[in-house]
């Protein structure tokens, strides 16, 4: 194992350490020197760092394309049979993810210069953003599970800090706390998996060194690892992903997380951090490949989340919350892809989603800035006033809905194909549900677009809105280009979409295209768009009438299927009931034992005290009775008096 100095000095290796290192360095610089300003150089430091990381990531990407995988590590800490390493891993999956994170983060920081201008805490914002960027890059580039977990938690902290950026607002503080606590719930499972693995593998925890390049089945068949343990570990890792990627049932934190600034929502809660869960499942896919039960669970939860979240997005009126539910839904689709064996499809959708969701959030941010409200019913007619924003948003909407030839079409199509051709039980039903989700997605997205950008302005603010400054529109344009064009990556640069080694290993080599699937997907998207146009632009259908006829549907969706309420009941009733049992146990049994010892001493003392009568005759009597007992015992064995007395000659 090379030491850290060797890593830093060896050409090639030091670059990789810099990829997360530069933003973390930026964090230190900003935190040390630039916290007090409300204008100034802080974003420039970060942007410079991110640009450097981007260049290095692109180099790594080209490197990964030529080779199979590259990993190196040095031993950080070794104790007993546990060895902790620090290292980096470059393969198809990680290098693509690095480029995406660097690029999106860079664009969003540029956007933030305009968005956060004049805010108190400007410096603090960029400090947190740089810490986050460094942590996310560190997570992606980690080569062992412990290091991944460390960065996982770091990313969670940054999320908490950034959601609660305007901490003086109670809603923001509450949302930050909720996000942290809910993801913690999932992280507990992840940590348990780390612990189980560290016991099982005796410290060899690197992704590739853990089991070599041999599929896990061989270990199970050879009896070295029980299949129950593999399934358990897979499910526990997945629970961490469920928390971080806001899957059902731990999705409740993401809509509330919209309390943070919009660029934060764009970066963390759309493009990157929430994708970390999907990334983790992809990273540990060799576990899931050996545990079909876990894979099925992943697929099931993925499709459930996709459908539920899309349905909730339909009833939302806050522009950011619609996009939040959309994110949850798309992450569900990614999980579904992974669950049915479409490893490459899931990874591909991860990258396209990062681009168009970030784009959508940034446009939403511009709109909110211009119209001074989050409520889409208080907007309208912004298309004429903010043309660049409207066009880029439209591109993003098409990408999200999955319309040809935008990127979302290609990635969504791959996912649906993977489901169609998979062999898991009930895959047709799952396909139907996913397809419904696609239709709903198109519907709510275009409902949003029509209500925001078309028609007549519904408030004065909307009427007086104007386009954002170039520092904000430029990132929009770049992201729009990426959202439109990254679909062709799949066709022409296949090794970027998910890592050759993994594809070869997990047998997803056939990309069977089916015209039927493509047609169905396109039809669903078009149907959704048409319905939205009919209801909200051409006013051919009145939503109000629908509400009147099916009020319960509307109520169900508006209240997010009452899931928040469900968790609240769980937390207050179940958890507290459990803790009162534990508290009772502690008070009466544990405390009781201690008190019992004291009581026992007192009771014994009281009983024994009666022996002290103060009367000498009583003591004499006891003495003689003891003597008799002693004599009996002494002489019962040996009948002769004289044998006990030493004879002196």
Partner 1 sequence: MSVTPLPPIHGYLVVSTLLFAIGLVGVFARRNAIAVLLGIELMLNAASLNFVAFWRYRGGGQMEGQVFVVAIITVAAAEAAIALAIILNVYRRFKTVNVDQINLLKG
Partner 2 sequence: MIGAIWESLHSGSLWQPLAFVCFAAIVLASGLLVVLSRNLLHSALWLLSCLAGVAGLFFLLGAEMLAAIQILVYCGGIVVLILFAIMLTHGLGHTDVRVANQQLLWGSIGAAGLAGVVLHLLSQESWTMGVAAEPVDVTARLADALLNPYVLAFEVASVVLLVAMVGAIVMARAEPE
User: Could you check whether the bond before residue 405 is cis, i.e. omega within 30 degrees of 0?
Assistant: yes
Of 30-38, 251-259, 279-287, 606-614: span binding partner 1 (CB under 8 A): 606-614
Task: Specify the residue, 543 or 630, whose C-beta has the smaller distance to partner 1.
Answer: 630
Q: Residue 611 CB, nearest distance to partner 2 (Å)?
A: 14
593 binds, among partner 1, partner 2, none (CB under 5 to 8 A by kind): none
Q: Which is nearer to partner 1, 582 or 620 (CB)?
A: 620
Assess 649 for contact with partner 1 (CB under 8 A). Answer: no
Binding residue for partner 2 (CB under 8 A) from 5, 624, 645, 646? 624
Which residues from 447-466 bind partner 2, rule CB under 8 A? none
- Report the C-alpha gap between 324 and 307 in whole angstroms: 14
* Short-list 24, 87, 17, CA closest to 50: 24
Please pick, from the candidates 515, 616, 640, 647, the single residue that binds partner 2 as defined by CB under 8 A. Answer: 640
Count the residues of the shown chain that bind partner 1, applying the rule CB under 8 A: 10
Helix, strand, or coil (residue 76): strand
User: Is 597 or 621 the residue whose CB approaches partner 2 more closely?
Assistant: 621
Q: Residue 616 touches which of partner 2, partner 1, none (CB < 5 to 8 A by kind)?
A: partner 1
Would you call 82 helix, strand, or coil by DSSP? Answer: strand
CB of 575 to partner 1, least distance (A): 53
Contact present, 400 and 363 (Cβ < 8 Å):
no
**Chosen from partner 1, partner 2, none, partner binding at 627 (C-beta under 5 to 8 Å by type):** partner 2
Structure tokens at 184: 């913690």
Tell me if 545 contacts partner 1 by CB under 8 A.
Answer: no
Number of helical (H) and strand (E) elements in the chain, helices listed first? 31, 2
Partners of residue 206 on adjacent β-strands: 144
Among 632, 645, 647, 648, binds partner 2 (CB under 8 A): 632
* DSSP-H helix ranges across 34-169: 42-66, 92-115, 122-141, 145-163
**Does 639 interact with partner 2 (rule: CB under 8 A)?**
yes
Residue closer to partner 1 by CB (options 170, 614) is 614
Structure tokens at 192: 């348990």
Q: Taking CB under 8 A as the rule, which mask of x and - marks residues 607-626 in contact with partner 1? A: --x--xxxxxx--xx--x--
What residues from 104 to 123 belong to the interface with partner 2 (CB under 8 A)?
none
Given its phi and psi angles, is residue 67 left (phi above 0), alpha (psi -120 to 50 degrees) or beta? beta
Question: How many residues interact with partner 2 (rule CB under 8 A)?
Answer: 14
Question: Which among 488, 352, 344, 486 has a CA at the least distance from the CA of 418?
Answer: 344
The answer to whether residue 576 forms part of the interface with partner 2 (CB under 8 A) is no
> How far apart, in whole angstroms, are the C-alpha atoms of residue 479 and residue 217?
42
Q: Which of 617, 646, 647, 649 binds partner 2 (CB under 8 A)?
A: 617
Contacts 24+ apart (CB under 8 A), 538-545: none
* Strand (E) or helix (H) holding 79: strand 70-79
Positive or negative, the CA dihedral 461, 462, 467, 472 is: positive
Q: Kindly list the residues in this chain that would bind partner 2 in the complex (CB under 8 A).
A: 617-618, 621, 624-625, 627-628, 631-632, 635, 639-642
Q: Kindly list the residues in this chain that would bind partner 1 in the complex (CB under 8 A).
A: 609, 612-617, 620-621, 624
């Amino acid at each position: 194992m090379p030491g850290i100095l060797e890593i830093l000095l060896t050409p090639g290796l030091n670059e990789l350490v810099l990829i997360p290192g530069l933003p973390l360095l930026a964090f230190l610089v900003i935190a040390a020197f630039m916290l007090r300003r409300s204008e100034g150089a802080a974003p420039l430091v970060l942007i410079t760092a991110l640009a450097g990381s981007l260049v290095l990531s692109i180099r790594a990407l080209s490197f990964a394309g030529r080779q199979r995988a590259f990993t190196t590590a040095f031993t950080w800490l070794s104790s007993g049979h546990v060895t902790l390493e620090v290292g980096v891993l470059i393969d198809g999956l990680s290098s693509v993810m690095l480029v995406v994170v660097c690029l999106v983060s860079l664009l969003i920081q540029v956007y933030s210069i305009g968005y956060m201008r004049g805010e108190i805490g400007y410096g603090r914002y960029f400090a947190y953003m740089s810490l986050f960027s460094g942590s996310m890059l560190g997570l992606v580039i980690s080569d062992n599970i412990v290091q991944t977990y460390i960065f996982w938690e770091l990313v969670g902290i940054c999320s908490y800090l950034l959601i609660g950026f305007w901490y003086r607002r109670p809603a923001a503080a509450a949302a930050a706390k909720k996000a942290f606590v809910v993801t913690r719930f999932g992280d507990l499972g992840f940590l348990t998996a780390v612990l189980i693995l560290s016991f099982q593998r005796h410290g060899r925890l690197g992704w590739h060194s853990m089991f070599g390049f041999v599929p896990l089945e061989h270990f199970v068949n050879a009896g070295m690892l029980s299949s129950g343990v593999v399934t358990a570990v897979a499910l526990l890792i997945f629970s961490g992903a469920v928390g971080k990627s806001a899957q059902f049932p731990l999705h409740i934190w993401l809509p509330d997380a919209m309390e943070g600034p919009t660029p934060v929502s764009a970066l963390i809660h759309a493009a990157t951090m929430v994708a970390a869960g999907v990334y983790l499942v992809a990273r540990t896919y060799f576990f899931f490949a050996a545990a079909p039960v876990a894979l099925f669970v992943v697929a099931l939860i993925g499709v459930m989340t996709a459908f539920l979240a899309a349905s909730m997005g339909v009833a939302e009126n806050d522009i950011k919350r619609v996009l939040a539910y959309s994110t949850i839904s798309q992450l569900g689709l990614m999980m579904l892809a992974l669950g049915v064996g479409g490893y490459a499809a899931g990874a591909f959708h991860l990258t396209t989603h990062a681009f168009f969701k970030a784009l959508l959030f940034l446009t939403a941010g511009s709109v909110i800035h211009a119209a001074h409200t989050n409520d889409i019913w208080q907007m309208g007619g912004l298309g004429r006033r903010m043309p660049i924003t409207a066009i880029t948003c439209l591109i993003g909407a098409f990408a999200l809905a999955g319309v040809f030839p935008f990127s979302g079409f290609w990635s969504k199509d791959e996912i649906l194909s993977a489901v169609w051709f998979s062999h898991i039980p009930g895959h047709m039903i799952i396909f139907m549900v996913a397809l419904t989700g696609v239709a709903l997605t198109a519907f709510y997205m275009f409902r949003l677009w029509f209500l925001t950008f078309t028609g007549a302005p519904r408030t004065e603010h909307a009427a007086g809105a104007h386009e954002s400054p170039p520092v904000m529109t430029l990132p929009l344009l770049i992201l729009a280009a990426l959202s439109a064009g990254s679909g062709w990556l799949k066709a022409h640069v296949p090794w970027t979409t998910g890592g050759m080694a993994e594809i070869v290993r997990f047998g997803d080599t056939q990309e069977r295209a089916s015209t039927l699937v493509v047609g169905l997907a396109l039809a669903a998207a078009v149907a959704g768009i048409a319905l939205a146009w009919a209801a909200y632009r051409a006013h051919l259908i009145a939503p109000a009438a629908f509400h009147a006829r099916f009020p319960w549907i509307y109520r169900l969706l508006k209240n997010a299927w009452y899931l928040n309420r469900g968790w609240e009941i769980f937390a207050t009733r179940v958890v507290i009931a459990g803790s009162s049992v534990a508290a009772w146990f502690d008070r009466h049994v544990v405390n009781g034992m201690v008190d019992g010892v004291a009581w026992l001493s007192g009771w014994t003392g009281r009983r024994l005290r009666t022996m002290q009568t103060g009367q000498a005759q009583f003591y004499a009597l006891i003495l003689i009775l003891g003597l008799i007992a002693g004599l009996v015992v002494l002489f019962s064995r040996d009948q002769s008096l004289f044998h006990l007395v030493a004879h002196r000659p």
